[in-house]
Amino acid sequence: MGEIQGTEFIRRDDFLPFFRPDLGEAELAAVTDVLRSGWLTYGPKVREFGEACGLYLGVPHAVPVSSASSGLLVALKALGVGPGDEVILPSLTFVATLGAVVHCGARPVLADIDPANLGMAPESFAAAITPRTKAVIPVHLAGHPCRIEEILAIAKAHGIRVLEDAAHAFGAEVRGKRLGGLSDATVFSFYATKCITSGDGGLVTTNDPEVARRVQVLSFHGMDGNAWQRYTDKGRWYYEIVEFGYKMHLGDPAAALGLVQLGRSDEFMARRTEIAHRFSAALAGLPGLVLPTAADWCTHAWHLYAVRVDRDVIDGGRDGVIADLTANRIGSSVHFIPLHYHPVFREAGSEFAPHLGQTERYFDQAVSLPLFPSMTDQEIDDVVTVVRESLRRRCR
Ligand SMILES: Cc1ncc(COP(=O)(O)O)c(C=O)c1O
C-alpha cells in the first residue's frame, strides 16, 4: 500500500477533509455560557443533555458518558459481562468495540458481516455461539442498521445479552423506530466526526432502570447517585462508593455543545441523506464500482458513504482511487481494518483469527468518500468528478 501514484484531474486550492464539523454561533454561545457559569464538569447540562437525547430517541434512560468507547465498557459491565464469558462481535468495527470486551476480562469471538448492510450477519452470530456466550455486540456500521431483529431473536433464544454499538447511527431507524431502545443497551458516539458531536462524548441508552443506574454509577467512580451535587447548595459532602468504577462521565461544556447539535440532528441527517443520494445518482452504473444502498425496512443515518472498488476491473482497486483522491486534495478513509488483521489478534493465534470471507472481501475493496452536512455542492461535484475520472482511466 502507498506506492500507487495518483493523478491530478482538477484544480482544488484547498484540501477537502474527510470530515468537517458543522459548528455555528449557537454552539459557540452555548459553550461560552457554560464557561461563564463556572460549572466546568459533570452537572446540570449533562443531565439536561441525557434527558433530551432520551426524548429524541424514544427511550426512558439515556446516560451521557465521555465517549462511546467508555460507554461500551461500562454498559458491558452493567450487563454482567466478566472473566470467563465470551462476547461475539463483528471483526469489521473500530477497536473500541473490542477494547470493551477485553477490558471486561471476557473473550472476544469474531463474526462475519452481511455485505448488504455491513453489520454482523445473524447466521455468523448464530454459528459462533457457545455455552459461554454471555453477550453480543452488533454494530450498525456506516449508519445502516444491521439485521438487529434477527440478532435479537437468536440472542433471546440463547439467553444472550445484546449491546448495540450505534456509534455511527444516531437517528437511524428500524421500521420507523429510532435505535436506542431495541435491545438491553445501546451506545452512541458524539466524537467530532459523528452524526452529532460534543467534541468527545457518548451515550448509553436502555429501557432497564437497573442497567441505567449501574452505567451511571460505573461511569462516575462507583459513587452513589447524587454525589455530583456535592459542590452545589443542594449537596452534602458525604458520598459512598458502591462499586469500583471509572471516571467516564461527560462534562457540562461538552453537553452544552451536544444539546445544540441534538437540536440540529434532523437537519444534519436530511443533508447527509441528500448528499448520499447525489453520490448514488452521479456514480450509478460505473464498471467496477459498487455503491451503498439503504434497505427499505430502515432509515440509514448515512454517517459514511463507503463504496467498493473491484480490483479485477479497476487497476489498483480502491488504493488507486484513494491515490487519485489524494492527488486531487480530497480526503478519504477506510472503515475498517478488520480486527483479526491487527497484530494483537494475529499474535493470539488462529483461535482468535478465523477466516471471515465477507469481511475480508469488503475490506479489500472499501473506500469511504467525504460526506458531512456542511459540504458544498461544489465539493460534492469535485468528489464525483475525481471518482468518475479515476475509474475511467483505471478501468482495465
Ligand atoms: C463502530 C465504533 N464504535 C465505537 C467507537 C468509539 O467511539 P468514541 O470515539 O466516541 O469512543 C467508534 C469510533 O469511531 C466506532 O467507529
**For 180-234, what is each residue's pLDDT tens digit?**
999 999 999 999 999 999 999 999 999 999 999 999 999 999 998 677 777 788 7
pLDDT at 347: 73
CB atoms inside a 10 Å sphere around CB 355 = 9
Q: Is the CB of 97 under 6 A from ligand 1?
A: yes
What the block records as the C-alpha cell of 142 is: 456506516
pLDDT digits (tens, 9 = 90+) for 68-106: 999 999 999 999 999 999 999 999 999 999 999 999 999
Residues 194 and 301 in one domain: no
Mutate which of 65, 72, 94, 165 for ligand 1? The one with the most ligand atoms within 8 Å of its CB, which is 94
CB of residue 96 inside a 6 A radius of ligand 1: yes
Q: pLDDT-based confidence at 341, cuts 50/70/90?
A: very high
C-alpha cell at 233: 447548595
DSSP code for 341: G
Strand partners, 330: 16
In a domain? residue 115:
yes
Query: For residue 327, what is the domain's CATH number?
Result: 3.90.1150.10
Cα of 287 from ligand 1 centre, angstroms = 33
Write b or e for each residue in 325-337: b if 16 or more Cβ atoms lie within 10 A of its Cβ, otherwise e. Answer: bbbbbbbbbebbe
Whole-number Å distance between alpha carbons of 261 and 244: 33
Residues 85 and 220 in one domain: yes
- What pTM value is reported for the model? 0.97
| pLDDT at residue number 229 | 76
Would you say the CB of residue 139 lies under 6 angstroms from ligand 1? Answer: yes
Q: Is residue 241 domain-shared with residue 388, that is, in the same domain?
A: no
Question: Do 135 and 197 share a domain, yes or no?
Answer: yes
Residues 72 and 218 in one domain: yes
Average pLDDT, the chain: 95
In this prediction, residue 29 has a pLDDT band, given cuts at 50, 70 and 90, of very high
Which residue, of 263, 284, 308, is where some domain finishes? 263
Number of domains present in the structure of the chain = 2
Same domain, 325 and 231: no
Indicate whether 280 and 232 sit together in one domain.
no
Which of 263, 289, 324 delimits the end of a domain? Answer: 263
Give the pLDDT confidence score for residue 332 in this predicted structure: 98
Do 240 and 289 reside in the same domain of the chain?
A: no
| C-alpha span between 302 and 19 (Å, rounded) | 13
Same domain flag for 152 and 291:
no
Last residue of a domain, one of 263, 283, 315: 263
Residue 353 confidence (pLDDT) above 70: no
- Ligand 1 centre to CA of 253 (Å) is 20
Q: Is the CB of 167 under 6 A from ligand 1?
A: yes
Relative to the CA of 70, which ligand 1 atom is closest?
11
* 225 and 330 co-located in one domain: no
- 362 in ligand 1 pocket by Cβ < 6 Å? no
Active-site residue numbers?
A: 194
Q: Are 84 and 132 in contact (CB under 8 A)?
A: yes
Distance CA 68, CA 65 (A): 7
Q: Determine the distance from the C-alpha atom of residue 159 to the mean position of all C-alpha atoms in its chain, rounded to a whole number.
A: 26
Range of the domain at 166: 25-263
Say how many Å lie between the CA of residue 236 and the centre of ligand 1. 36
Residue 34 neighbours by CB under 8 Å, 6+ apart: 40, 45, 252, 253, 256
170 and 145 Cβ atoms separated by less than 8 Å: no
